[in-house]
């Protein structure tokens, strides 16, 4: 019994705990530190971090089927200032040609436990539709929701304490409403290492017990 108790303590010590890392997506540099040019379509620039962007998170009703996904610093709206650099926004023709309320999906390969983003120029639009973010776990069950107040300028919205999410669906403004998204900050959970080592040590403990 004493041998097993010592082995269990060793297992606990090696297992440790999961750690966390906080990252910021600013649309000025990609995950590898390369500059993102003005008018670049946003999709997999952050794939090295396990993050991907896809348009049209929502469908049907008044939702757009052709959401524009452009990193831009030249097509700007109310509340933008040059210090923001690139922001995520439907550029010019994309903006005016969208056939409904825009939305996009952020997919995370590693679960996140907090997220925040800056919303630029959200004044509620024509129908009062304000930017919101809905968070989903790995099975697409909603685990969190938060929205902007529609005050215009630069507004930060954030959420934590929702457990773990793998998807963030962002609805940024209504039809014909300029809204930019910038500085998406999130905290991801990094699993504790040494799973194989634990299996080996468990076998050693079992062997000692048999002797």
For the segment 170-176, the average pLDDT, to the nearest whole number, is: 79
Lowest mean per-residue pLDDT among 69-73, 159-163, 195-199: 195-199
Query: Which of 40, 102, 93 has the alpha carbon at shortest distance from 65?
Result: 102
Categorize the per-residue pLDDT at 17 as very low, low, confident or very high, splitting at 50, 70 and 90: low
For the segment 104-126, the average pLDDT, to the nearest whole number, is: 90
Say which CATH architecture domain 18-191 belongs to: Sandwich (2.60)
What does the alpha-carbon distance between residue 97 and residue 91 come to, in Å, rounded to a whole number? Answer: 10
Categorize the per-residue pLDDT at 16 as very low, low, confident or very high, splitting at 50, 70 and 90: low
3-state secondary structure of 26: coil
């Amino acid at each position: 019994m004493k041998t097993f108790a010592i082995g269990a303590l060793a297992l606990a010590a090696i297992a440790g705990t999961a750690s966390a890392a906080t990252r910021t997506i600013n649309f000025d540099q990609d995950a590898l530190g390369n500059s993102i040019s003005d008018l670049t379509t946003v999709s997999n620039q952050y794939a090295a971090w396990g993050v991907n962007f896809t348009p049209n998170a929502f469908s049907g009703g008044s939702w757009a089927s052709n959401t524009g996904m452009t990193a831009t610093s030249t097509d700007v709206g109310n509340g933008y200032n040059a210090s923001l650099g690139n922001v995520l926004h439907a550029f010019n023709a994309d903006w005016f040609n969208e056939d409904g309320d825009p939305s996009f999906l952020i997919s995370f390969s590693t679960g996140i436990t907090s997220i925040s983003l800056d919303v630029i120029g959200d004044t509620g639009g024509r129908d009062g539709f304000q930017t919101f973010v809905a968070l989903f776990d790995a099975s697409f069950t909603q685990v969190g929701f938060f929205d902007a107040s529609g005050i215009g300028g630069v507004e930060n919205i954030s959420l934590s304490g929702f457990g773990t999410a793998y998807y963030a669906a962002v609805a940024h403004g209504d039809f014909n409403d300029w809204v930019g998204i910038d500085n998406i900050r999130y905290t991801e959970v990094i699993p504790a290492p040494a799973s194989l080592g634990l299996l080996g040590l468990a076998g050693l403990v079992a062997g000692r017990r048999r002797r």
